[in-house]
Every structure is written in C-alpha cells, then in structure tokens.
C-alpha cells in the first residue's frame, strides 16, 4: 500500500468515527451553527461532523430531511408548535436523539420574567433599524479597508492600524458586523505614518501587532499563493526589523497595541473595545 492510499484510508476511517450531528431549523440555521461551534470547542477536535438543514418549514420538508438521516444526533429549533411536535414524533419513531437548543432557554426566560416569548423563527432575522445599522457599518468598513478612502478617516468610530498582514481586515469586519464603523490603515514604517493618520485627532486608534515569526510565515504564504511582494516583504530578519520600527512609531503616540498572535477575532475585538472604553453593541436581532 503506497503512502497516498494509506493516508486516504486513514482520513476515511477518521471521518467514519466522527459523530454526525444534524442541525435542523425552520430558519437559516445560522444561530444553531454558531451555538454548536461553541459547544464543539469543549470536545476533542474532530469529534463531530456537522450538517445543516435550514428552512425546514413544512411537513414534507421535515420528512424529507429525516429520511436522509440514518443515524446520528439532531439539534433543532422550531418556533411553530405543530412543526416541532411533528419533528419530535418523527425523531422518536426513527430513534434519533434530538435536542431543542433554544427551547429550554426560552422557557426559562418566560418563567423567570413572566413574559411570554414570541416563539417566532422569523424574528431571528428581522430587518429592523438595528439590522440596517449593521449593514451600513459593514459597507463603511469595506469602503475603508486597507487605507482606502483615508481622507474620510474622521468618520470612523474605530481606526485599526498596523503593518501588512496583522489581521486588520478580519477584525475590522467583525466589529463592523457588531455595528461599529471601522477603518483600517496599513503602516509602512520606512514611509512614516500616512498624513491623514498623522493628523487624526480622535482618540479611537488601536494598533494590532503579531509575533515577527508568525508574520513572516503569513507573508510567505501570501507570496507563494499570490506571487505578491518582494523578498523583504517576508524575509524573517526584515520582518522583525519592520515590527520593531513600527512599534517605535506606535509608542511615540501612546496608541494601545494588541498582540493578535493566537487570538481569534472575537477575543481581539473585545480587547479593542476595552482599550477604547467602548461596549459591545447588543442587537435584538
């Protein structure tokens, strides 16, 4: 058996040993997926293989989805009581373990507050004023990515600065999705700060940095994949000097600096808001 065949068989065996989980909802499944990703972190990697079945809104769709599930676990959300009852009956008949991810929490909140919940799947994705506020923030942040439209930097609620490839864009978009207008600006230490950032008076600038070794690896990958940049762009020694020179620029302005090495955007986003004294915007939908 050659090495490639052995690797394929090993991967196939690993996939077969994973517990299959099906997420079923009469809505988009986005929140189910988000919740289950959180739960997965508490188990060893590759414990679960997950599939989603969104917009399961009729009896026929429920039967069709369940017909395709021969074994595994089912996590679900139905606001419609009739669909929920049918779904549970069919899961019991097919001996499929099933768990309502949101139902027990809603029941708890109802009992604790004395306020009846809507039990409406459509309410999960209502296009209200808060939704449009987030869309405007996303549009702003896309338009102000990587030093674009820097002449309107003063309109940003948050400015993220840093050298190339320190995850400015992902963190800007994460915060934009949470409703903040974010601009991100690329720093090239040998050229100094962009004039627009030099003149920026708001105290809303946060700098991202990363270990020089990790930054060099990230840039080397981009160089190989996109054939972008000269050797100095990813040479470890040059990258280390660039990071040190950039740090001197930041220290001169007392900007808060956040090291994103081994940090997810959610954690980095929380640290950015903390550094600026801002609170995460919690939307109803």
Q: Got the DSSP string for the chain?
A: --HHHHHHHHHHHHHHHSEEEEEEESS-SHHHHHHHHHHHTTS-TTSEEEEEE----SHHHHHHHHHT-SSSEEEEE-SSHHHHHHHHHHHHHTT--EEESSHHHHHHHHHHHT------GGGGG---HHHHHHHHHHHHHHHTGGGTTGGGGGG-SEEEEESTTSSHHHHHHHHHHTT--EEEEE-BGGGBS-HHHHH--SS-EEEEE--HHHHHHHHHHHHHHH--S-HHHH-HHHHHHHHHHHHHHHHHHT--EEE-TT--HHHHHHHHHHHHT--PPPP--
Per-residue pLDDT reduced to its tens digit, 12-26: 444 456 899 999 999
pLDDT, one tens digit per residue, over 197-206 is 999 999 999 9
Where exactly are the structural domains of the chain?
3-125, 129-276
In the CATH hierarchy, which fold is given to the domain comprising 3-125? Rossmann fold (3.40.50)
Domain 129-276 has CATH 3.40.50: yes
The model carries a pTM of 0.70
Using the predicted structure, report yes or no on whether residue 6 has a pLDDT greater than 80: no
Domains 3-125 and 129-276 share a fold: yes
Q: Which stretch, 41-50, 113-122, 127-136, 217-226, has highest mean pLDDT?
A: 41-50
């Amino acid at each position: 058996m050659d090495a490639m065949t052995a690797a394929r068989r090993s991967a196939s065996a690993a996939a077969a040993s994973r517990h299959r989980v099906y997420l079923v909802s009469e809505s988009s499944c986005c929140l189910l997926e988000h919740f289950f990703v959180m739960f997965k972190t508490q188990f060893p990697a590759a414990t679960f293989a997950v599939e989603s079945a969104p917009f399961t809104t009729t009896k026929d769709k429920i039967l069709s989805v369940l017909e395709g599930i021969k074994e595994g676990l089912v996590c679900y959300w139905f606001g419609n009581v009739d669909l929920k009852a049918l779904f549970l009956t069919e899961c019991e008949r097919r001996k499929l373990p099933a768990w309502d991810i949101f139902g027990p929490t809603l029941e708890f909140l109802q009992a604790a507050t004395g306020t009846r919940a809507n039990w409406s799947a459509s309410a999960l994705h209502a296009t209200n004023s808060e939704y449009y506020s987030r869309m405007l923030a996303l549009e702003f942040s896309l338009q102000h990515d990587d030093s674009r439209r820097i002449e309107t930097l003063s309109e940003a609620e948050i400015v993220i600065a840093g050298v190339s490839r320190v995850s400015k864009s992902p963190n800007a978009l994460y915060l934009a999705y949470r409703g903040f207008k974010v601009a991100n600006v690329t720093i090239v230490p040998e050229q100094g700060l962009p004039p627009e950032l030099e003149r920026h008076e708001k105290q809303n600038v946060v700098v991202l940095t990363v270990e020089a070794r990790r930054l060099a690896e990230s840039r080397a990958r981009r160089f190989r994949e996109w054939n972008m940049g000269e050797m100095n762009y990813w040479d470890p020694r040059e990258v280390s000097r660039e990071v040190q020179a950039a740090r001197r620029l930041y220290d001169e302005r007392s900007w808060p600096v956040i090291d994103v090495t081994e940090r997810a955007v959610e954690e980095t986003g929380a640290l950015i808001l903390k550094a600026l004294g801002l609170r995460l915007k919690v939307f109803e939908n």
